[in-house]
Every structure is written in structure tokens, then in C-alpha cells.
Amino acid sequence: MSPSLQGYFQVAQAIWEGLPPVTRFGAQDEHTLRTYLPQLQRWEDPVINGFYDALFSHPATRSVFREGERAMREQVLRIWYRRTITGPFNLEYFAWQILVGQVHHNRGISKGQVMAMWGWLTEQIWQLSHISLPLDEADQLTMAWMRLANSVKAMAADERLEAYLQALEQQSGGNLRILQSAVVSWLEELGKSSSHS
């Protein structure tokens, strides 16, 4: 069962508060993205095209897409990119990223694949900014982007685990705390037996 909109907001807020503030995307980073908005806008085409070239050139990611789907996917990623570079970076934005994570999950796309593409996006921003800006400004823009990427990735990672555990609790009729401690004991046993072998 999917949570309500309010539910997504609450999950996003709870995960956000758990992240060390120095690692989170902050007001200074938002200011940096605003400063370099014209550059980020200019990079839209290479970013969108390169993103799907990467996914379509590899059989394991190509196979996720339906026939003739690429144009629509590009259009949606364009909307995502425009919203991402302009902000505002409020709870609504981060809750949306959690929802995007669920859409991927429902389509059978692994978190590893999504994380890898976040890495690819970050490399592009690094490369494009170092080609077009003085070194210190390029570094500043890349760091702001990295903190955004880290915040979104951390959020998606935490939310999925929480959703799995809650689904497990609901489906098994068990108690979450008991299930969690059973998993911890099982992992400890596994660790002991693999260290003996």
C-alpha cells in the first residue's frame, strides 16, 4: 500500500533529520545552484541525451524500457532536471524523490542502477563545470551538486528499507522489533559460520 502525500512528507522529513547536517544540501548549495543556473540550463541537452545513451547502450538497462518509450522518458527526465536545477529544495522536492524511487522499484530497476546513474550525473556536472568555469567555481558547483545527490540517495536508500520492513511486518503479521532482532541474530550466526569456514 502506498503512503499518502502527507506520509511521503513525513518520511522525507524523518530521513532528512537523521542525516548529519554537514552532509545535507543546504542554503549555501542552493545559492550556488542559483548562481550557475544559466550554465546548468545550457547543459540540459548533453545531460539528458547522455543519460539515456548510457542506459540504452547496455543490455541489462536497455531491457527495462518498452518499445518506443525513450522519447517519453527523456521528456520526463527533462522536467525532473529543470525542477532539480531551479529548486526550491523543500520537503515537497525530497518527498517527490522518494516517490521516484518507488516508481523505479515497481518497474524492477535496482537501487544500484539508480545510484550508478546519480554517479554518472555527478561526473557530467564535474566535467562540464571544469570545462566552462574557473577551477574554484567549478569545484563549488560540483560540491553543491554532490551534496544534493547524496541527500537524495540517502533518502531513497533509507525509505526503501523502511518500506520493506513495514511490508514484512504487515504481511507476516509479526512484530517489527522482533523481526529486526531475528534478522540481526541470523546475520551474526551467518558471520560466525563464514568466519569458521
Determine, following the binding rule CB under 6 A, whether residue 100 of this chain makes contact with ligand HEM.
Answer: yes
Q: Identify the residue among 118, 124, 139, 176 touching ligand HEM (CB under 6 A).
A: 118
Among 42-50, 99-107, 138-146, 186-194, which window interacts with ligand HEM (CB under 6 A)? 99-107
Burial class (CB in 10 A: 0-12, 13-18, 19+), 35: middle
Please select the residue that binds ligand HEM; options are 10, 35, 39, 61, rule is CB under 6 A.
61
Could you tell me which stretch among 2-10, 104-112, 155-163, 187-195 binds ligand HEM (CB under 6 A)? Answer: 104-112
- Residues in 31-50 at the binding interface with ligand HEM, rule: CB under 6 A: none
**Closest among 43, 69, 187, 67 to 121, alpha carbons compared:** 43
What are the grid coordinates assigned to 58, written together? 547496455
Phi–psi pair at 110, nearest 5 degrees: -80, 155
Cα separation, 108 vs 26, in Å, equals 32
Q: How far is the CB of 20 from ligand HEM (least distance, A)?
A: 22
Query: Among residues 33, 40, 95, 121, which is the contact residue for ligand HEM, using CB under 6 A?
Result: 121
Distance CA 190, CA 184 (A): 10
Crossing angle for the helix pair 27-35 and 135-172, to the nearest 10 degrees: 130
Least spacing, CB of residue 37 vs ligand HEM, in Å: 18
Stretch that binds ligand HEM, among 3-11, 17-25, 70-78, 160-168 (CB under 6 A): 70-78
DSSP 33-74: HHHTHHHHHHTHHHHHHHHHHHHHTSHHHHTTSPTT-HHHHH
Q: Which of 35, 113, 122, 124 binds ligand HEM (CB under 6 A)?
A: 113
Binding residues among 145-164 for ligand HEM as defined by CB under 6 A = none
**Binding-site ranges for ligand HEM (CB under 6 A):** 55, 61, 64-65, 73, 76-77, 80, 99-100, 103-104, 107, 109, 113-114, 117-118, 121
